[in-house]
Structure 1
Amino acid sequence: MFLDFFFPDRCLGCNNIIAANIFVCEICKNQIDFCNNKFEDENVLKEQCKTIFPIENAFALMRFQKEGLSRELIHNLKYNKRKNLGKLFAKWTIERLSFDKKPDLLISVPLHPKKEKERGYNQLHLFTETISEFYNIPFDHQIIKRNYYAKAQALKDKENREKSADLFSLQKPISGKHVLIIDDVFTTGNTMSAMAWEILKNKNNKVSVLVMEQDY
């Protein structure tokens, strides 16, 4: 209570004082470009994915805004130790996402162990776990691993981004599952594609995708 008085929580958009663990005031939230598309419908994200791997369904929470609040929030989630923003993104997702038929398994894109140690956490885990609990869909953070440490996709040149073979490997067999792959931002789709194809090596599997932000 003492610290709350002298160091109140502030909106990450306008810096006004807000209630604890809210992160964003309603005025700033209304400036975010939410996609509001249906998971099973045709949409831009699904069309993009179709060009690089077979996909069942796709859902993006927000559209990319170069100077927008969504980018600021994701930056804070990934790099400023604000991992509880994962719960906020999950809350916003739950408000907008429904399934005609639920996927069988949630898998978030893993970090390389060195990267996760540097960051202190995987920014997708709390988001995935919150989604899992609400929809009663199991998740597994150990089922797939990233095989080598690399720079962030946004910092790589095009040639290196295309070298995604063997980026991931399964640690447990998956067969006959509809897997929902979860990531923070969809840009080129190279990381998502590499992970999807690893799961689709078993022809009995299907994949869908869920991302916090779509950059197109």
Structure 2
Amino acid sequence: MILDLLFPNRCIHCNCIIDSHFIICTICFEQIHFTHFEYSQENNLKEKCKLLFPIENAYALMQFGKENLSRKIIHELKYKSREKTGKVLADWVTERLDFKNDRPDLLVSVPLHPKKHKERGYNQLHLFTKNLSDFYNIPHDHNLIRRNHYSKAQALKDKKHRLETQNTFTLTKSISNQHILLIDDVFTTGNTLATIAWEILKESNNKVSVLVMAMDE
């Protein structure tokens, strides 16, 4: 209580004081570019994924523009130790996403390399994925995929280096006859998700869908 008075929670965009459970104020919330995609229907994200790997369904919560608020939200989550942002984003997803009759069997988030995890102190996708798992009552596995190489942040790479993901990921165990929902923060080139998807699709009768917090415009 005293800490709340001394260090009140503030909107990450306009800096006004807000409830401790929120990350932005109601006025700034109106500036977020939500996609309004339907998970089980054709959309821009699914079309982009189709060019890279066989995909069942795809969903992006927000558009990730160069100057928009969605970019600031993701950067707060990834680089400024605001892990609780993952829970807020999961709440926004659950208010909008209905799996209907095509529920995945397992939620799997893109992993960090152990060294990067130690540097950051958390994986920005773990709390997000866990909250989705709890809400939809779908199991999640943070350890199914292993990242084999340490690299600098995607945001600091040029496009050429972002495409160099060959042999970056492997499965830690055999899995078959599963519909996997791959979860990542931002879809840019799609190469990271494609690399993981093909590892999953090597196994017998697996299917892959994708959910991202945001996608590049």
Q: Output the amino acid matched with 2:67.
A: E
* TM-superposed deviation, 1:65: 2.2
The residue number in structure 2 matching 1:74 is: 74
Distance 1:6 1:164 in 2: 45
The residue number in structure 1 matching 2:130 is: 129
Distance 2:89 2:3 in 1: 26
The residue number in structure 1 matching 2:9 is: 9
**Residue 98 in structure 1 maps to residue 94 in structure 2:** no
* TM-superposed deviation, 1:203: 4.0
Change (3 A) 1:10 1:161: closer
Deviation per residue, 1:161-186 (Å, 9 max, x gap): 33322111111111000000000000
The residue number in structure 2 matching 1:38 is: 38
Deviation per residue, 1:176-216 (Å, 9 max, x gap): 00000000000001111111111011141000000001003
The residue number in structure 2 matching 1:175 is: 176
Distance 1:90 1:150 in 2: 27
Distance 1:139 1:205 in 2: 16
Distance 2:23 2:163 in 1: 36
Deviation per residue, 1:2-46 (Å, 9 max, x gap): 221222111111111111121111111111000111100100000
Deviation per residue, 1:77-110 (Å, 9 max, x gap): 0111100100000000000000122100000000
Change (3 A) 1:73 1:159: closer
Number of aligned residues: 216
Q: Output the amino acid matched with 2:85.
A: L
Q: Output the amino acid matched with 2:135.
A: F
Distance 2:72 2:28 in 1: 12
> RMSD of the TM alignment (CA)?
1.1
TM-score by length of 2: 0.96
Alignment of 1:161-172 (within 5 A): 161-172=162-173
Distance 2:136 2:158 in 1: 38
Structure 1 runs of 4+ aligned residues shifted over 6 Å read none
Q: Secondary structure at the match of 1:140?
A: coil
Q: Output the amino acid matched with 1:86.
A: G
Consecutive unaligned residues in structure 1, runs of 5 or more: none
TM-score by length of 1: 0.97
**Residue 147 in structure 1 maps to residue 141 in structure 2:** no
Q: Secondary structure at the match of 2:108?
A: strand
Q: Between the two proteins, what is the percent identity of the paired residues?
A: 61
| Farther-moved stretch of structure 1 (33-42 vs 144-153) | 144-153
Deviation per residue, 1:125-168 (Å, 9 max, x gap): 00000000000000011111000101223333344333322111
Q: Secondary structure at the match of 2:95?
A: helix
Q: Secondary structure at the match of 1:106?
A: strand
Contact 2:106/2:180 (CA < 8 Å) preserved in 1? yes
Consecutive unaligned residues in structure 2, runs of 5 or more: none
Change (3 A) 1:65 1:159: closer
Distance 2:163 2:69 in 1: 30
Distance 1:204 1:171 in 2: 18
Q: Output the amino acid matched with 2:169.
A: F
Distance 2:64 2:78 in 1: 16
